[in-house]
Amino acid sequence: MRELKCPYCGVGYEPSKCTLEVSGFQLRGLDCLRCPECGDEVFTGEQMELVQHRAKEAGVWGTKFGLERTISRSGRRPVIPVPAEYEKLGFAAGTKVRIYAEESKLVLEKSE
């Protein structure tokens, strides 16, 4: 398997343990890959299958899920890294999106 590199830093990902939140339920100690520079986390296909299995066991599979991210800076602006897995949902680099606040949440939608 070829080495996966972080799209933000260009640094190779390293094996790590991650926490994934699914509908307020935290799945801890999941195998993942983490960028040692910026902390971006991704899952391989095999790792994602194990995530799905753990989420099904916990009774939270099929509900909304997300990865915890830290807001960082690019120049003077805050940025939030979008996980590479979300490209499959149409959120690839260059996609126009609409961002708005909804109570204590930030919502990201593809623009029409």
Question: Nearest 5 degrees, angle CA 15-CA 28-CA 82?
Answer: 65
Judge whether 60 lies within some domain: yes
The confidence score (pLDDT) of residue 88 equals 65
Percent of the chain having pLDDT more than 70? 87
* 57 lies in some domain: yes
CB 52 within 8 A of CB 61: yes
3, part of any domain: no
Residues in the chain: 112
Would you place residue 93 in the very low, low, confident or very high pLDDT band (cuts 50, 70, 90)? Answer: confident
Residue with the bigger pLDDT between 15 and 100: it is 15
CA dihedral 7→93→61→68, nearest 10 degrees, is 60
Using a pLDDT cut of 90, give the percent of the chain over it.
17
Residue type for position 10: G
pLDDT tens, position by position, 100-110: 888 888 888 88
Is residue 84 within 8 A of residue 48, CB to CB? The reply is no
Residue-range definition of the domain harbouring residue 88: 14-110
Number of structural domains in the chain: 1
Structure confidence at residue 32 (pLDDT):
93
